[in-house]
Amino acid sequence: MASGVLVFGEATDDGGLNPVTKELIAAGSNLGGPVTCVLAGTGVEGLAQECVAAGAGKVIVVDDPILTPYQGDAYIPMAERITKEVDPSVLLMGQTMMGRDLAPRLAQRFSTAVAMDCMALSMDGDQLIAERPCYGGSARARYKINGTPQMATLRAKAVEPLAPDSSRQGEIVRQDAGVTADQVRTKITDRRKEKAEGVRLEDATVVISGGRGLGGPEGFKELEDLAEIMGGAVGASRAVCDLGWYPVPTQVGLTGKVVTPDLYIAVGISGASQHMAGISSVKNIVAINKDADANIFKASRFGVVGDWKEIFPAFKEKVRELKSA
């Protein structure tokens, strides 16, 4: 009978452990475990012990260049085989590029279902309860999955990793990918890295976003200054990106990025539901808006009603002062 939790961990491009891996292991442990973690890619063996310290009872290492970079055709046969062997009750992946592609394709192989982009997971007896946003982030829906394994992908930072404990014991096993080049139908001809300066929006603990209320692209210079002082990143509403005031990759929301900082400062953003969909997991929202009835205030911990041009410079100087104190 299916039991335990199987998670598919991930390495970063520079060979580290993608933080979502530890979050998945923690989520699996919170569900009752035991957690088996798959680490696939090239040069990933050195990361296995980190997974054990993070709470995995077993790590299956599949070290093979055919698995780097991620390609569904190469991963699916390997993931299907390991899933059959482990026979987990619950299978988790990150809501990452890999998880988005692999999870539904794997679910199809097992005639089961997958709840994507979950923000919370719990068990009701043997039944996984997967919670995910719906209606553009204005509500949350709870899903039960009838098939086996019960599958979900987890949004980054939805779960706190367990405190690392190097005394934790775990089994580390190596397996071959068992995939040949002729099984991979796609060919990656080129990879280009998005030029990014400073902290990535998705990783930032502080995000300062600007909307149409800034009045023009010049306003973003002020936001960038504050982001630099606070070690944060700058985001934007879709209205701003559509107007060409700020680059499209910085768009936050339903059709942009989902961000999960501890602090989100929204300047001149009305708080349309499509924007809120990208910030529903933010711990603290602070809004500056001249309209006291703006929707953004409904979700804000702190709000300042007024013209951002009058409020923001003083706010920035105060933060600078506190930072240098």
Window of 46-54, 113-121, 148-156, 251-259 that interacts with ligand FAD by CB under 6 A: 251-259
What is the total count of residues that contact ligand FAD (CB under 6 A)? 28
Per CB under 6 A, the list member of 251, 260, 280, 300 interacting with ligand FAD is 251
Window of 1-9, 81-89, 155-163, 307-315 that interacts with ligand FAD by CB under 6 A: 307-315
Site membership for ligand FAD, residue 275 (CB under 6 A): yes
Site membership for ligand FAD, residue 299 (CB under 6 A): no
Site membership for ligand FAD, residue 274 (CB under 6 A): yes
Site membership for ligand FAD, residue 219 (CB under 6 A): no
Shortest Å distance, C-beta 65 to ligand FAD: 37
Shortest Å distance, C-beta 320 to ligand FAD: 21
Single-letter code of the amino acid located at 34: P
Question: How far is Cα 16 from Cα 294, in angstroms, rounded to an integer?
Answer: 42
Identity of the residue, 81 or 290, whose beta carbon is nearer to ligand FAD in the bound complex: 290
Site membership for ligand FAD, residue 290 (CB under 6 A): yes
Per CB under 6 A, the list member of 120, 254, 299, 319 interacting with ligand FAD is 254
Site membership for ligand FAD, residue 294 (CB under 6 A): yes
Per CB under 6 A, the list member of 18, 237, 280, 300 interacting with ligand FAD is 237
Instruction: Order the strands of the 120-124 sheet from edge to edge.
Output: 120-124, 127-134, 139-143
Nearby residues of 245 by Cβ (< 8 Å), 6 or more positions away: 210, 214, 216, 217, 220, 236
Count of residues making up the chain: 325
Site membership for ligand FAD, residue 240 (CB under 6 A): yes
Per CB under 6 A, the list member of 29, 250, 289, 300 interacting with ligand FAD is 289
Instruction: Using CB under 6 A, list all residues that contact ligand FAD.
Output: 211-213, 237-240, 251-256, 268-270, 272, 274-275, 278, 288-291, 294, 307-309
